[in-house]
Amino acid sequence: MKIKLSEIFFSIQGEGVLIGTPTVFIRLYGCNLRCEWCDSMYAVEGNEYVVRTIDSIIKETEIYRCDNICITGGEPLLQIQQVALITEKFININKNIILETAGHIEPPNIFKSKNTVISMDCKCPSSKMNSTINIGNLLKLKNKDQIKFIIDNNNDYLYAKEIIKKNKFRAQIIFQPAWGSSIKLLTEKVLSDNLNVRVLPQLHKDIWGDLKGK
């Protein structure tokens, strides 16, 4: 089976509960959303991709001798059959998988495995894609998974706060400031409201800036 691939690179996980962990990233091509602050449009539009076999991708990741694999995009679940198969193959060789997805497509059953983490976005208004939110998908997540709110302004913050207060999510909640907005201000709001969330930066951008392949 073949898959549209944007890039493979080795870095640290820059977001979420696994922040700072050495990880091999498999960035798949294509997305049917257009978030206002998207930082990987080269994986969404244009011709910056190749068509590869799943086995060749797995073989390439092995050169990094890393047990952590992140499948990201774009929106990887647009290639849902390929994602399910490559994840199964990685699990069979004892890899740990994190899937980064926008949340409007339900992940396949393979991501119920204890070897996987689903990192699912809940789009805030500044993304201009908040109408695509599927609360049902978010509610199905387990406590091993995470829900990520990317927050750019006070309107986003109030929106995210209302959603987490209305719903009993099992997944861990991440509030992440959009690149260029204040993590200090966001942290102070969370503390003032005593929210049970984690405030985390985009660590890879703090280290390298908005650099492709990092």
The CATH number linked to 127 is 3.20.20.70
Instruction: For residues 170-178, give the mean pLDDT.
Output: 97
Q: Is residue 214 part of a domain?
A: no
How does residue 163 score in pLDDT terms, banded at 50, 70 and 90? very high
How does residue 214 score in pLDDT terms, banded at 50, 70 and 90? low
Q: Is residue 65 part of a domain?
A: yes
Q: Is residue 122 part of a domain?
A: yes
Residue 103, SS3? coil
Number of domains observed in the structure of the chain: 1
Give pTM, 2 decimals.
0.95
Q: Which residues contact 191 (CB under 8 A, 6 or more apart)?
A: none
Q: Is residue 52 part of a domain?
A: yes
Q: Is residue 213 part of a domain?
A: no
Nearest-angstrom CA–CA distance, 76 and 4: 9
Q: Is residue 9 part of a domain?
A: yes
Q: Is residue 43 part of a domain?
A: yes
Q: What are phi and psi of 62, to 5 degrees?
A: -70, -20
**Across 25-29, 155-159, 199-203, least confident range:** 199-203
Q: Is residue 181 part of a domain?
A: yes
**Domain range holding 41?**
2-208
The pLDDT score that the predictor gives to residue 36 is 83
User: Closest Cα partner for 200 from 163, 147, 156, 153?
Assistant: 147
Judge whether residue 46 has pLDDT over 80: yes
The burial class, CB within 10 Å (0-12 / 13-18 / 19+), for 196 is exposed
Per the model's pLDDT, the better-predicted residue between 46 and 27 turns out to be 27
